[in-house]
Amino acid sequence: MFRTCVFLFLLTGCLGYSQVADPIFRRGDFAPLSDTGTLTLRLNATGFFRNNEYFNPLYKGYTLIGMHLTPVLEWKADPHVSLFGGFHLLKYSGQERLNKFLPVISLQANFNDRLSLVAGTIKGAGEHRLPESLYGTERNLNEVIEDGLQIRYESPVCFSDIWLQWDRFLERDEANQEQLTFGYSGWFTGLIGQGRQEIRFPVYVLATHRGGQIDQSDLPIQTLFHFGTGGYISFSTDHAIIQKLTAGFTGIGFRDVSPTPQLPMKSGYTVFPSVSIGGSGMEWENGFWLAKDFFAPKGDPIFWSWAFDKDSYQQNRRMIVSRLFIRKQISPYLVLGLRGDFFFDLFFKDPDYSYGLFLRFSARQKVWNVGK
C-alpha cells in the first residue's frame, strides 16, 4: 500500500511547472545541509525594500520595508529524521514594535535524498514555486511561516509539492472561522535536441477555505478553487550573457464553490503567454495577461478583476507584463536580489510599476556533536 501511494504521488508530481516564480526566493534556506548526529544552529534573515507604484482604480500602491529573522536549532538524529525548533521575527522599518513573533517547530522525515514528509512548520511562500498570480511574491516578506503538513519530492527532472496549511486553528464556540489552504505545485522536465532544448509541463492546484462547524461566527463559509497547467520550452545558447530562451504559457481556472457566494464573480480564468531570457544571474520575462473574472486571495492583487477594497470591479483584464530579476551571490552566506515590474492595462491606460531590493542571509553553525 505504501509503495502504491508513493507511486501515485510521484506520477502526479511529474506533471507540473509554472510561469516565472521569483528566483530570489526559490530556496528559503540555502546553507549546506546539517551533518548526521549533530545539533546545528540555522540562521536565515532577509532585509527587504519593495515599492509598488500602482495608479489603477483596482489596487493602489504602497511600500514595504523591513527585515525578518529566523534562528532555528536542528537536531539531525540520523539521515532520515530532523527536528527543528526556533522562532521567526518580522519588523517593518519605522515602527517601534515587532510586527510578528512566531514559533517555528517541525519534524521532518527523509525517506531518501529526494522525498520528504514535514509536519509543523513547512517550506512555504516562494518555495512552493506557484505563479505569482496564485501566490504573491510579498508572501516571501511578510507571510514566510506556514504550518501544517507537506510531502515534497525534488529531483533534476521532477518537482512535486503537496501541502495542507492551517492558516487559523478554530476552538469551540470561538467567534471566528477556521482558515486553511490546500495546495499542489509540480513540474516535469524533459530534454530534447541533444540536451540543448528543455520542455516543462506544469500542474498546480490551490484551494482556500474559511468556515467551521464549532464556531459562533455569523460570517459566511467561503471555499475557492484554482487549478492550472501550461507548457514551456527552453533553448540553451552559447552566449556569455543570454544563456537561455524560454517561451510558453500558463492557464488558470477559478471557481467559487461557497454555499453562499460573496464575490461578484462565481468562476473565471486567465491565460498568460510569455517569453523570457535568462543567464548570469538574470531573468527577464515579458507576457500578456488575459483574464476574465479572476480572483486569488493569496496571489498578487495587481492581477485581480476585483478591487482590494471591494469597491471596484473590472470583469475583463488585458495587461502587458514585464518583469526583471537579478540575483547576485555576494558570498556563500549572502545573496543580493534586485527586481523591477512593469504593468500596462489596456483598459485603464495607466502604467503601474514596482521595484525592490532584497538581502538574503543563510548560514549554519554546528553547536554539538553527539559523537564527541
CA distances in angstroms from 325 to 22, 127, 278, 306, listed in the order given: 7, 16, 9, 27
Distance in angstroms (rounded) separating the CA atoms of residues 53 and 240: 34
Whether the Cβ atoms of residue 32 and residue 203 lie closer than 8 Å to each other: no
Biggest CA–CA distance in the chain, Å, is 68
pLDDT of res. 40: 94
Domains of the chain with CATH codes: 2-43+120-328+339-354 (2.40.160)
Q: Locate cell 529573522: which residue?
A: 69
Task: State the pTM of this model.
Answer: 0.88
Distance in angstroms (rounded) separating the CA atoms of residues 79 and 361: 25
pLDDT of res. 371: 57
pLDDT of res. 16: 34
pLDDT of res. 14: 38
* Beta bridge partners of residue 316, listed in sequence order: 292
Going by C-beta distance under 8 Å and a sequence separation of 6 or more, which residues neighbour residue 351? 55, 342, 343, 344
Count how many residues are written for the chain.
Answer: 372
pLDDT of res. 297: 92
Distance in angstroms (rounded) separating the CA atoms of residues 366 and 118: 22
Distance in angstroms (rounded) separating the CA atoms of residues 136 and 115: 26
pLDDT in tens, the chain (372 residues): 434 344 333 333 333 333 446 777 877 676 777 788 899 999 999 999 999 999 988 888 999 999 999 999 999 989 999 999 999 999 999 999 999 999 999 999 999 999 999 999 999 999 999 999 999 999 999 999 999 999 999 998 999 999 999 988 877 777 778 899 999 999 998 887 776 789 999 999 999 998 877 666 778 889 999 999 999 999 988 887 888 999 999 999 999 999 988 888 899 999 999 999 998 889 999 999 999 999 999 999 999 998 766 667 888 999 999 999 999 999 999 999 999 999 999 999 889 999 999 999 999 999 988 655
Going by C-beta distance under 8 Å and a sequence separation of 6 or more, which residues neighbour residue 309? none
Whether the Cβ atoms of residue 292 and residue 271 lie closer than 8 Å to each other: no
pLDDT of res. 299: 94
CA neighbor of 70 nearest in space, from 42, 98, 93: 42
CA neighbor of 18 nearest in space, from 138, 127, 129, 126: 129
pLDDT of res. 2: 36
Whether the Cβ atoms of residue 68 and residue 141 lie closer than 8 Å to each other: yes
